[in-house]
A and B are shown apart, each in its own frame.
Chain A
Amino acid sequence: DTAVSQTPKYLVTQMGNDKSIKCEQNLGHDTMYWYKQDSKKFLKIMFSYNNKELIINETVPNRFSPKSPDKAHLNLHINSLELGDSAVYFCASSQDRAGLGNTIYFGEGSWLTVV
């Protein structure tokens, strides 16, 4: 069983569209994250939820809206997609916050291409 699974794995869409990426973890973790990895492989945190509560919200355009219906799910919705949104988006989870030395488990990534 995949610990952190995200869908879709690949997404090609036109500018201006709205899209969602879904993420589920079956590890029983309390904390979930969304990271963005750009073309230069730089991985940057976007959001973090702990027990469905938003605890980290980096400087991300408000076109990006995370939603955590329960502890096991953290979805990412993106409105009015722009070319610069093209990247790999990684969902991740950990038992507690990363700063407490907890292991973060990453999903396989969702490759988003905006054309």
Chain B
Amino acid sequence: TQLLEQSPQFLSIQEGENLTVYCNSSSVFSSLQWYRQEPGEGPVLLVTVVTGGEVKKLKRLTFQFGDARKDSSLHITAAQPGDTGLYLCAGADSWGKLQFGAGTQVVVTP
């Protein structure tokens, strides 16, 4: 049973469009992290959100943590081909156990 559900599983858009990836759970996490993984490499951390309702911005990426700390979203504005990759959300409990979602494969075409 997956604790974290990501949607959509796959997203193909054109350069300049906006996109949103969702990460939902019935569990409460002490923190939630978003990673991007490119082919042949390990996941790379993009952001960590800790406080319910928190919003963090990283250039064209906006991350939001739900008020109840059970869900999160990642919004990319004016997507570029360099944003192509597998986006993974991961929830951490207080013991350091990180549970990953199944990932959203994003493809941005020029």
Contacts and interface: CB of A to CB of B under 8 A. Distances in A.
B28 to A, nearest CB: 12
Interface in A1-15: 4
User: Which of B30, B33, B98 has the most C-beta atoms of chain A within 10 angstroms of its own C-beta?
Assistant: B98
Interface residues of A, number: 28
A104 B98 contact: yes
Contacts, number: 74
A97 B96 contact: yes
A29 to B, nearest CB: 12
Contacts of A107: 42
Interface of B: 2, 30-31, 33, 37, 40-45, 48, 50, 86, 88, 90, 92-100, 102-103, 105
Interface of A: 4, 31, 40-45, 48, 50, 55-56, 90, 92, 94, 96-101, 103-109
Given A100-B30, A105-B45, 10 more contacts: A4-B42, A42-B102, A43-B100, A48-B96, A55-B95, A56-B96, A98-B33, A98-B96, A99-B30, A99-B95
